[in-house]
Amino acid sequence: MRSPTKSHGRLSIKPTKKPSELMVDRPILAQVWTARVITLFPQSFPGVLSASVTGKALEERLWQIETTDLRQFGIGKHRNVDDTPAGGGAGMVLRADVMGAAIDHTMKGINRADWPLVYLSPRGASFTQSKAQEWSQKQGITLICGRFEGLDQRVIDHFDIEKVSLGDFVMTGGEIAAQAMIDATVRLLPGVLGNAESAEEESFAHGLLEHPQYTRPTDWNDHEIPEVLLSGNHKAIGDWRRDQSEALTKSRRPDLWRKHKKS
């Protein structure tokens, strides 16, 4: 994916059910990596994504975020978005017609080959660093935040939606998971971290956990920085860090270690 440049012709037009002001501070830009989020709580975004590195990159227009308010597509006077599960059972399920309309609206004009459509679900494959890398190479991504007991399966089948999970636990909704996945992806975009080596040396970048880190003071509460890190011998330092990464991965994440050895 090319790094965006500030030039003419970057503005894009997208239909919306919500009236827009004639003049806005942040018009949508074309050719900029974009996260689109379908959610019942659009006010949750950008949330923590507006802070730190991702927030600075958002301010500099290295990426952008758009939300689709699912409630706008609700049915009836009260704009209902859910109904009781077919066959009975506890809880409510997001309706197929409501979510289908929201997806059609959000994905209009998008080339699916270069823009993943993802449903955040505990039934999905676990989110990984390699998945973040994959998404960062696309033009953007659309994340569907689940609620209640989940989403009508017919929508998932009809749109061939990818299912991804943040981990083996259940959350109230997908909004927090969406922010976590967007953060992991955005920091891999060109120019976001500033120093490309930062991303290359992090945990999971090479399938291993990151080695321990140290800084000043060299002696703190009778704990000293390992002598090799102060030696100035870059080869020895590199070997030490590699050994530490392998040892940590082997002891703490045997699943990653097995995968690393196979590769």
pLDDT in tens, 127-149: 999 999 999 999 999 999 999 99
What is the domain range of residue 215? 202-262
Please indicate, yes or no, if residue 7 is contained in any of the structural domains. Answer: no
Please indicate, yes or no, if residue 242 is contained in any of the structural domains. Answer: yes
How many distinct structural domains can be found in the chain? 2
Least confident of 4-8, 11-15, 201-205: 4-8
Please indicate, yes or no, if residue 229 is contained in any of the structural domains. Answer: yes
Please indicate, yes or no, if residue 103 is contained in any of the structural domains. Answer: yes
3-state SS string over the chain?
A: CCCCCCCCCCECCCCCCCCCCCCCCCCCECCCCEEEEEECCHHHCCHHHHCHHHHHHHHCCCCEEEEEEHHHHCECCCCECEECCCCCCCCCEECHHHHHHHHHHHCCCCCHHHCCEEEEEEEEEECCHHHHHHHHCCCEEEEEECCCCCECHHHHHHCCCEEEECCCCCCCCCHHHHHHHHHHHHCCCCCCCCCHHHHHCCCCCCCCCCCCCCCCCCEECCEECCHHHHCCCHHHHHHHHHHHHHHHHHHHCHHHHHHHHHC
CATH number at residue 245: 1.10.1270.20
Whether residues 97 and 165 share a domain: the answer is yes
162, 186, 210 - which closes a domain: 186
pLDDT in tens, 152-172: 999 999 999 999 999 999 999
CATH number at residue 140: 3.40.1280.10
Whether residues 46 and 99 share a domain: the answer is yes
pLDDT in tens, 78-122: 999 999 999 999 999 999 999 999 999 999 999 999 999 999 999
Whether residues 84 and 180 share a domain: the answer is yes
Please indicate, yes or no, if residue 4 is contained in any of the structural domains. Answer: no
- The model's confidence at residue 19, banded by pLDDT at 50, 70 and 90, is very low
pTM score: 0.83
